[in-house]
Amino acid sequence: MSKDAKILIVEDEPHINRLIEIVLISDGYYKIKKAFDGAEALSIIRQDKPDLILLDVLIPEIDGYTLCRTIKNDTALKSIQVIMLTAKKTDDDILKGFESGATDYITKPFKNKILLARVNAHLQNSRSIVLPKQYRDFILDEYNMSAQINNTPIKLTRFEFELMRLFISNVGRVYSRSQILTYLKGDNSFEVSERAVDVQILNLRKKLGAFGSNIETIRGVGYRLKEIPDE
């Protein structure tokens, strides 16, 4: 399995944070970032979008349960795998962890081999499930948050990426401006009005070049990705 996955360790005890990092490095992972409180973690998550987060519950600023719910309620982040790694081990604690959206729950003290087995399994599952979406010559890779047309990379903003993800997942369906904003409202970075959606669509079309004509304006209603006729 590839070891290029991005992993974020969120643990306020420096020696435990470092121990987890060493365990991951020993297994070949090298794209590792660390945070020591919930607010710092959320900032890193929004900027870097890790593939997996090892999350303690009892951390300053934003506790682990709240941070996990925030991630899972965010359209752009909810695909991130979250493994809670904590000393809180009652049935109620574990249930609360899963209810907040955690993929897995590991109690401390943990065995290194078990931790690595869980990390490897969840990363493998996420990579096998999230496959690139294709529409004509356009490919949207949700796992790597990238896009290309005719094998040429296209740099999209997060807003533009989410727009294309919405359209390509529902080809032919018309979305009003308000529906587009509702779809994106989980991400606090999208502070735009309905009128601003028109500007974003215009910019997106320009960036996509000739392919941009596939995004149709339905007058008085909204936008859609043009249906591909049966051949």
Q: Rounded CA gap, 164 and 70, in Å?
A: 23
Place of tokens 């990379």: 153
Residue 189 has a pLDDT of 45
Beta bridge partner(s), residue 141? 146
Q: Look up residue 229 and give its DSSP letter.
A: P
Name which CATH class applies to 133-225. mainly alpha
Order of strands across the sheet that contains 104-107: 31-35, 6-10, 52-55, 81-86, 104-107
Quick: pLDDT tens for 142-196. Answer: 766 789 999 899 998 877 888 898 899 889 999 998 888 777 654 444 455 677 7
Region for 145 from its dihedrals, namely left if φ exceeds 0, alpha if ψ lies in -120 to 50, beta otherwise: left
**Cut 0.75: pTM above it:** no
Quick: pLDDT tens for 16-73. Answer: 999 999 999 999 999 999 999 999 999 999 988 899 999 999 999 999 999 999 998 8
Whether the Cβ atoms of residue 36 and residue 47 lie closer than 8 Å to each other: no
Domain spans of the chain? 6-129, 133-225
Q: Which CATH number fits domain 6-129: 3.40.50.2300, 2.60.40.420, 3.50.50.60, 3.40.1280.30?
A: 3.40.50.2300
3-state secondary structure of 178: helix
CA dist 183 to 35, 142, 161, Å? 29, 16, 13
